[in-house]
Amino acid sequence: MKQCMDSENLHRRLKKIIGQIQAIDRMVDEDVPCEDILSQVNAAKSALHKAGQLILEGHIKHCVRDGIEHGDADKTIEGFTKAVERFANII
């Protein structure tokens, strides 16, 4: 599915998210106030959500379009529905 998305952009975002998570882990060890840690958790969650949006957008632009144009539209729509349900569960 690599062709479905901008993998370089996605990898760059994921590396930033990994850095955010590692920073949160350090904050716990450094006895940083809970409010500050929660703020960083929220930032990481938002960044992960944005990565999911990029994946879903790529899925729509490539997989869904191709499936409808050249494949089984019903099966494509079913797959798209599953993708949206999984993305909605991320939130």
Among 19-23, 50-54, 56-60, 66-70, name the most confident range. 19-23
Regarding pTM above 0.85, the answer is no
Per-residue pLDDT, 5:
73
Contacts of 43 (CB under 8 A, 6+ apart): 20
Per domain, the residue ranges of the chain are 7-90
pLDDT-based confidence at 91, cuts 50/70/90? low
pLDDT-based confidence at 36, cuts 50/70/90? very high
Helix and strand counts by DSSP (H, E) for the chain? 4, 0
Architecture of domain 7-90: Up-down Bundle (1.20)
